[in-house]
Structure 1
Amino acid sequence: MALKVLIVDDETLARSRMRTLLAECTEPRTDVVGEASNAVQAMDMIQRSHCELVLLDVHMPGVDGITLANTLRQMPAPPSIVFVTAYPEHAVSAFEVEAIDYLTKPVRRERLQQALQKVVKTRAGKEGNPDAGPPEALIIQERGRSERVALSDIIYLKAELKYITVRTAEKEHIYDGALSDLESRYSHLFVRVHRNALVSRRAVRAVEKHSDPVEGEGWTVRLDGCEERLAVSRRQLAAVREALMG
């Protein structure tokens, strides 16, 4: 079944370009139910068309895209929001209003298709559990791009100099933040294994002794979805074993 999409952008050429890109995306298929050049038109079409996804610009005459998205999320069954804009600096505000993704122009077809797949996955999860809120996530900003990484996808968080390496099964990200802050906010999801690392409680597969010619005997943790083993300090050993036992 095709995903019902509304395109909201004050530029006619941008809307036309988005229609072309959507036609090239096959998984999932999409059905463009309308176009709007401002927030008032968009709100009217959303109420009439029952669209599932709004591809939304940020800068528009009158009400901006962030304000419109904040209004939409108050609806009983709001459409999903993916921002499409030339301004990368609004990414944090976009995710604060529960956007699924944030695309910067010019948009590549592959990147748009990735966003569409996120929308389908998120909507399927909400249909299975309608009371569930948006998934907890970190907003990763790298090379002018902002990406939402669900905490449930993260295997470990490791402090490296001034940054944190965020490891998922697919790739590594660089996050600008403090490990202690993440630990205090997400201790229900992650356990500290060492002074420089947190691991997902769900990912802990085994705790094993190891011998290092330099450091001597110690402990490591094996994690699902990752071949790398992380050192476990003696101070944290009991907590990691507790996570292993569930």
Structure 2
Amino acid sequence: MAQEEALKILLVDDEPLARERLRTLLADIALQLPSEVVGEADNGLAALELLRRQPVDVVLADIRMPAMDGIELAGHLGALESPPAVIFVTAYDNYAVQAFDLNAVDYLLKPVRTQRLLTALQKVRGQPPVDPALLAGLGRELRGGGRSHLSCHERGRLLLVPVGEVLYFKADLKYVTARTQEREFLLDETLTHLETEFAERFIRLHRAVLVAKTALAGFEKAADDDAEAYGWALLRGVPERLPVSRRQWAAARQVAGG
């Protein structure tokens, strides 16, 4: 491989010593496979911020990290215009590692060995994209819940929406709107998938609406001639009212304690 074709690599691990070991190993295999470490990050959020400024060929990502783990990071990478290949790094030789292997997603076990790193990097070019469905399932099992952030494409940029700040999701044609106190975001998601992934946090009010349980402030019965809803949900912090169907009325009021 010519020097100008050196792989551009981003190291993502919350342990500085682990990142330093990878740097050392990359230097050891430089003659067989030239590479350039263009950045380091200690969690997935920091990695995505770096990738907005500096595209890379491959991300070496730890699986378990604070703020955003490697599984969720990989899911967001797939939304980039030119997604890098992902090689997972883990200290856990368990079902997740086996699943990655079966689905052609490479992994390295800590402590990383020189030859294993070389073999993984040699498979990077032409690597198929990571399967988002597999990542979503594994992520829920590893962290005991859904994603911490959702991806939003806006004017050529990738924005991250913290799930904890979302007051409600509302479906409209092919998009779903996520509303925070500050603004709305258009997501390429389905309401059904969001309801399944975040069942502990959100409740369905209507065929087109999910609301955060903690955002509910009260309810109003709709007028008899109101064809849009059986009732309306009032929210904390924003003036909008959300429609509640007859079918969901009792369950929603029970969740809100009213």
Question: Residue in 1 aligned with 2:81?
Answer: 89
**What residue is the counterpart of 2:197 in the other structure?**
185
- 5+ residue gaps in structure 1? 1-8, 11-38, 45-49, 98-130
Query: How do residues 101-116 of structure 1 correspond to structure 2 at under 5 angstroms?
Result: none
In structure 2, the partner of 1:137 is 149
Residues 61-101 of structure 1: per-residue CA shift (max 9 Å, x gap): xxx3x12xx14x558x899999xx9x94256988x99xxxx
Q: Name the CA shift for 1:135/1:214 in 2 (closer, same or farther; >3 Å).
A: closer
Matches within 5 A, 1:48-67: 55=50, 57-59=54-56, 64=58, 66-67=59-60
Distance 2:196 2:247 in 1: 18
Describe the shift of the 1:152–1:239 C-alpha distance in structure 2 as closer, same or farther (beyond 3 A). same
Q: Deviations over 1:205-241 (max 9, x none)?
A: 0011132755398310001121110111110011111
Which structure shows the higher strand fraction? 1
The equivalent residue for 1:153 is 165
Partners of 1:193 and 1:184 lie apart in 2 by 14
* Local SS of the residue matching 2:223: strand
C-alpha displacement at 1:163, in angstroms? 0.7
2:164 alignment partner, SS class: helix
Alignment-derived partner of residue 217 in structure 2: 205
State the Cα distance separating 1:147 from its structure 2 match.
Answer: 1.8
Gap change, CA 1:158 and 1:78, over 3 Å in 2:
closer
- Report whether the alignment pairs 1:170 with 2:186: no
% of aligned pairs identical? 32
Match of 1:23 in 2: none
Residues 59, 168 of structure 1: CA spacing in aligned structure 2 closer, same or farther, 3 A cutoff? same
**2:231 aligned residue:** 219
Q: How far apart are the structure 1 equivalents of 2:80 and 2:253? A: 42
Q: Contact conserved, 1:91 with 1:146, CA < 8 A, in 2?
A: no
Any stretches of 5+ residues in structure 2 without a counterpart?
1-6, 9-21, 28-40, 90-142
| Matched residue, 1:196 | 208
Cα distance in 1 between the residues matched to 2:250 and 2:145: 32
143-152 or 213-222: bigger deviation: 213-222
Residues paired across the two proteins, number: 166
Q: Cα gap change, 1:163/1:74 in structure 2, threshold over 3 Å: closer, same or farther? A: closer
Structure 1 residues 162, 80: closer, same or farther in 2, change over 3 A?
A: closer
Q: CA contact under 8 A between 1:191 and 1:240: conserved in structure 2?
A: yes
